[in-house]
Amino acid sequence: MAEFLIRAKKHYMDDYTEEQISNLSDDQKSAFDQRIQIGDVVVVKPDGWQWGKEECLPTFDIIKVPAMSYEEAKKYEQRKEEILVGMLKPTITALRRYKIIDGQIIDKIDDSKLLISSIK
């Protein structure tokens, strides 16, 4: 059994204007594109985990998934990595590959959805 710490609050850079984005350096733009999104799986812990005082709303939500083992759930911490045109090695394009929205785990790479039985 596993518990997911999910990002619930929007990122401070979500409100950046076009001008602010255009002023970012290449490195900063890359990090901006990778920033955490609402619903992203941030951390996976075993069932019954004693979360910290700030691992709760408004920043995070906790979803318990009793039907999934911790070992299986751990893969949902993966980053989104893709091989971009002209690159030999995978590039991290988002901080997380998976997000949980409305009881579904969504894979951002192939847009597949996995229905889960969860408890908030």
Of 37, 38, 64, 77, the one binding another protein (CB under 8 A) is 77
Q: How many residues bind another protein (CB under 8 A)?
A: 32
- The answer to whether residue 74 forms part of the interface with another protein (CB under 8 A) is yes
Any contact of residue 28 with another protein (CB under 8 A)? yes
If binding is defined by CB under 8 A, does position 110 make contact with another protein?
Answer: no
Is residue 52 close enough to count as binding another protein by CB under 8 A? yes
Quick check: 16 binds another protein (CB under 8 A)? Answer: no
- Pick between residue 57 and residue 101 the one whose CB is nearest to another protein: 57
Contact call for residue 20 and another protein (CB under 8 A): no
Cα 37 from Cα 7, distance rounded (Å): 7
